[in-house]
Amino acid sequence: MKNGLMLQYIIDHFDKFQMKKILLILSAILSLLAYQSHAQSDQYAGTILQTNNPIINLADLARKTAPMLWFSPDEPYLYDENKEIRIPMALPVDEPGNKPVVYYKLTYVYSMDRIDKEELDYSLQEVLHLDILNGFDLNFYYYFDKETGVGSHKHDIESMSIQFNVIQNDGCPEGKYSIVAQLVVAHAHGLLWYQNVFMVDEQTFFPLSIMIGEGKHASCTDKNADGVYTPGFDVSENVNDAWGVRDIETSGRLFTGQYQAWMTKKRTKKSLLFPPIAREDRYYDNLIDEFEFDEDDPTYELRAYPNYLEIDVPEDLVRFMKDKKPHDWPKPVRGKADHTGQRNSQTVASYKAISFAYRWDNSNGISITLPLLLFKNVEAPMTGGWLYHKIYFGNEDAFDGRYENIFGHQIVHTPSASRWLDPYIGMGYEIFDKNDERGVTDYSGTFVSEIGFKLRVNVSHTPLKFLKYLGTSFWGVRMGWKNVGFDIFKQSGFVIELGAGVF
């Protein structure tokens, strides 16, 4: 009762003027929150475009998102006889350009509803329907008539891709649809392990900067457009395996060794090729502020990537164009855009992480390695590198005459999946038959540890390149020292494995 009387007293004597002030403040707060909700789409890092139009021209979008290409100052094919940048070039099956040429291609489109390729009508790559998409991947390709260095060949098509989210902001005055770049992938030597990848954040410079390796033309991300490759910053995914930018490849040395800073030459504006950006585009002023860009600076022409099935392609160029799968793109995918840059790349990488090997461990046996989560690779926290399962089994005919059935399982860590030489360390258990009598088993288990190194070779550019069609480009040998139990050097010995796979 006392509480009820007190509440009635407060209501009866509360200053009505104070109540009005509180209501005005609350109203202002709600208005501010509503404004922030409307303006939120403009606050996403990597916002390329905001629009109320659900249909957008793909060619115009490609121009707004096209990257800068930054060559080595010593790139042997960079300039023509007039000292003007001549690369990348138009494909031999395309009309020659008066300036360098870059191609674009829509690859994946993501939607929560099942969509049909014919329903979307992407045959001419003309438009995107933002109202039915969660995101999409857009690739950019650049052609070089030749390259130099180890495994050099005629024709070279390199690429990078950008993954975009499509965000719908109902009631936003700046535009209902926001197209936001979320991930950038620069491809190198056609291997998923070598990809240079980073997630877009507030430190990302737009237009995007892509550094091109000297002579071999592998692509590398340059998040802040400073012309310097910084591992862990310019690349945030799989840092230990990322190729970086290696301008020393033309020498034929350290083709798959660990990246070192001296491998990259400092970029200057003289070797920078700008995209065909327009004054009305969102990031035009960035080029003026950072690079003092003007209309006399070199730019490239942007074209749609041709479908090699619909044109007459020279035989020696077919496989390079076919690798880019223009006849299959774009692929409708049900779901949201993931963070791999290509919807299936993580699955493919995990599949290729399955390794088989012959194992010698006092007897003949086999060894199998699997991703830590079986269908997904797991990068080690802090140190980088990879964690994976190693399973081995076989018959051991010990020197003392005992016959033991051996099964072993270890969790192994190695710094990378692609360097030519890596250490590894594993810990786990072994199951064995401790009964000496044949036909009578007495299984037991014990702790086991193993340490050693893995020597792997990428056979893609060797006379053994046909081996890659067996499912992996990497073949090698693993040599180590195994110890059984916790006693130092008890039941320890040398082990060796020969086989295929990155691990």
Distance between CA atoms of residues 441 and 188, nearest Å: 53
| Intervals of CATH 2.40.160 along the chain | 350-500
* Fold (topology level) of 350-500: Porin (2.40.160)
pLDDT value, residue 388: 92
CA-based end-to-end distance of the chain: 76
Residue range 473-480: average pLDDT? 88
pLDDT value, residue 121: 56
DSSP class of residue 299 equals: B
Q: Which of 384, 383, 356 is nearest to 370 (CA)?
A: 356
Strand ranges inside 75-146, DSSP E: 101-111, 127-129, 135-146
Residue 477 makes CB contacts below 8 A (sequence gap 6+) with 454, 455, 496, 497, 498
| Highest mean pLDDT, choosing among 118-122, 396-400, 497-501 | 497-501
The string of pLDDT tens digits covering residues 253-291 is 655 577 888 889 999 999 999 999 999 999 999 999 999
Residue 54 makes CB contacts below 8 A (sequence gap 6+) with 129, 130, 131, 176, 177
Where do the H-state alpha helices sit in 110-196?
117-120
Measure Cα distances from 390 to 9, 246, 380, 426, 482 in Å.
Answer: 76, 32, 16, 8, 13
Q: How confident is the model at residue 1 (pLDDT cuts 50, 70, 90)?
A: very low
Measure Cα distances from 491 to 42, 70, 481 in Å.
Answer: 64, 56, 11
- For residue 360, give both structure tokens: 């010698």
Residue range 94-118: average pLDDT? 85
Distance between CA atoms of residues 331 and 239, nearest Å: 28
Q: How confident is the model at residue 341 (pLDDT cuts 50, 70, 90)?
A: very low
pTM of the model: 0.81
Name residue 255's amino acid: F
When the pLDDT of each residue in the chain is averaged and rounded to a whole number, the result is 81
Region of poorest pLDDT, from 162-166, 312-316, 470-474: 470-474
412, 390 Cβ separation under 8 angstroms? yes
The string of pLDDT tens digits covering residues 348-363 is 455 467 888 999 887 7
